[in-house]
Amino acid sequence: MFKFDHNNINVLDLEKSMNFYQKALGLKEVRRINGEDFTIVFMGDEAGSQHVLELTWLKDRKEPYNLGDNEFHLALRTDDFAAAHAKHKEMGCICFENEAMGIYFIVDPDGYWVEILPPVVEV
């Protein structure tokens, strides 16, 4: 049996990325690993999910990461979709909206997309 633990993304500016994820999504640092030429920070949500986002910063990396077609993305669900949308619009980080599906995407400082989902509606 398996369960999700974390997703990793590599970042060029660790502090900038941590600030983005904290401001945009309320994620907070839950653990850190400091190596000689890297730092890894795990960001967790306020809901207490066991699944975390791992931000990896490599000391010598200077050039942006090649995200290919950027088909990979994270997805987070919010209890207040309208407030989240207004906040992200104010931050200027909304990069794509699909009104027909009722979702939108924000983009982080390194170009990674994060899908924002509304609450699950039980029928």
What percent of the chain is modeled with pLDDT above 70? 98
Predicted local confidence at residue 72, as pLDDT: 86
Q: Which of 22, 43, 41, 121 is nearest to 81 (CA)?
A: 121
Which of the following is catalytic: 15, 90, 115, 122?
115
How far apart are the C-alpha atoms of 42 and 55, rounded to whole Å?
Answer: 6
* DSSP secondary structure code for residue 62 in this structure: -
Q: What is the tens place of the pLDDT at every residue in 17-46? A: 999 999 999 999 999 999 999 999 999 998
Decide which of 120 and 76 is more confident. 76
pTM of the full structure: 0.92
pLDDT per residue as tens digits for the range 94-119: 999 999 999 999 999 999 999 999 99
> Among residues 75, 68, 20, which one has the least CA distance to residue 51?
75
> What is the CATH topology of the domain spanning 6-60+73-117?
2,3-Dihydroxybiphenyl 1,2-Dioxygenase; domain 1 (3.10.180)
pLDDT band at residue 123 using 50, 70 and 90 as cut-offs: low
The residue extents of the domains of the chain are 6-60+73-117
> Catalytic: 90?
no
DSSP state of 26: -
